[in-house]
């Protein structure tokens, strides 16, 4: 706005500068203050002990003793609310499907090729899948996490309402596995979500699927690569991995008949159809090893080429049992393919 004749132009100019500075500070400060909003537990340690007793056969005094040194870490809540997997695939993919991980993975699979052969013979899970998983999780043990597991699980059980029940159970599993495996409750470190080792198993997965492959009396998913490889293979086997089937196929163009396609995409992996139904709806036949009898679904990914629709086999769903993110499953499939995966 132009100044009136009674206003002094120079003085008004300074006033506008002051106002602009104040306004800028307010705009900048508001999100800063929002970011610094205090994060606190909604469950007391006493309340959490009571909930843990439904899952752990330990006395109130023992559970209280275990939790007394557990520290609430607000940063863990913030990281849970901003996971890598929430990014569009075009940003997520380069983090894992890259030359560095390919080089590391090829070296890893070659070095442990005899173990991979024995694991495949027992569980029917290809080495390329296991190699992709271990690469994405920890770069083959190089990045196992620096958060204290007790603090992570305590924080999430007591301060993350949306998944408090889940993390309370995981805390219970953690307390039990520490006792079973004679581990240090205080020294165990891993991810902010409570996963640990080269495999990044959460406590319940460790207790259910970790394998003592070399029969030394310990399921070592930190440093023993025989146990590590067999444990991942066992997990996928138990979740019904099909070694004869593919994982995912990116469509270059949408179906000409959109009705069934739209219905499947909306339900994604919650409902499965025979691939032959998509053929009947206008999809051109996919190359081998895809078969019309395969049960498939359709998922959507935001790639650098734009929105892409992907035909996925139930093997894709098996990967989401490890990590429920479609981004994670697709990156695993792409990385495994780059390693030479074939059904």
Active site residues: 137
Q: Kind of pairing, strands 189-190 and 147-148?
A: antiparallel
Give the distance between the most distant pair of CA atoms in the chain: 93
Neighbours of 44 (CB within 10 A): 10
Which CA distances in Å does 3 have to 7, 17, 18?
6, 14, 16
Q: Which residues of 97-124 are buried (b: 16+ CB within 10 A; e: fewer)?
A: beeebbebbeebbeebeebbeebbeebe
Query: Cβ-count burial of 152 within 10 angstroms (0-12 exposed, 13-18 middle, 19+ buried)?
Result: buried
Name 85's Cβ contacts closer than 8 Å, sequence gap at least 6. 92, 323, 325, 327, 328
**Beta strand spans in the chain (E):** 147-148, 189-190, 248-250, 273-274, 295-303, 306-313
């Amino acid at each position: 706005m132009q100044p009136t004749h009674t206003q002094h132009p120079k003085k008004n100019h300074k006033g506008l500068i002051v106002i602009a500075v104040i306004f800028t500070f307010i705009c900048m400060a508001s999100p800063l203050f929002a970011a610094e909003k205090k994060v606190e537990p909604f469950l007391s340690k006493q309340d959490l002990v009571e909930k843990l007793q439904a899952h752990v056969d330990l006395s109130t005094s023992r559970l209280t003793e275990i939790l007394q040194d557990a520290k609430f870490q607000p940063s863990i809540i913030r990281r849970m609310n901003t996971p890598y997997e929430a990014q569009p695939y075009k940003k997520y993919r380069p983090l894992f499907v890259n030359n560095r991980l390919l080089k590391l993975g090829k070296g890893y699979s070659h070095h442990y090729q005899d173990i991979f052969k024995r694991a495949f013979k027992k569980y029917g899970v290809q080495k390329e899948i296991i190699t992709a998983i271990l690469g994405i999780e920890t770069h083959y043990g190089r990045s196992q996490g620096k958060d204290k597991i007790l603090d992570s699980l305590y924080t999430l059980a007591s301060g993350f309402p949306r998944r408090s029940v889940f993390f309370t159970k995981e805390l219970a599993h953690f307390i039990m596995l520490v006792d079973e495996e004679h581990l240090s409750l205080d020294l165990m470190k891993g991810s902010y979500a409570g996963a640990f080792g080269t495999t990044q198993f959460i406590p319940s997965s460790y207790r259910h699927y970790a394998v003592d492959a070399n029969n030394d009396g310990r399921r070592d998913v930190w440093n023993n690569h025989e146990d590590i490889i067999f444990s991942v293979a066992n997990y996928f086997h138990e979740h019904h991995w099909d070694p004869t089937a593919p994982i995912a196929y990116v469509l270059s163009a949408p179906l000409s008949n959109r009705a069934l396609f739209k219905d499947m995409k909306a339900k994604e992996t919650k409902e499965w159809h025979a691939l032959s139904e998509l053929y009947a709806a206008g999809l051109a036949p996919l190359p081998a090893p895809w078969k019309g009898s395969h049960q498939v679904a359709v998922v959507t990914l935001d790639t650098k080429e734009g929105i892409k629709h992907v035909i996925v086999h139930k093997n894709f769903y098996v990967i989401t049992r490890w990590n429920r993110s479609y981004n994670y499953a697709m990156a695993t499939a792409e990385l495994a393919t780059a390693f030479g995966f074939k059904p």
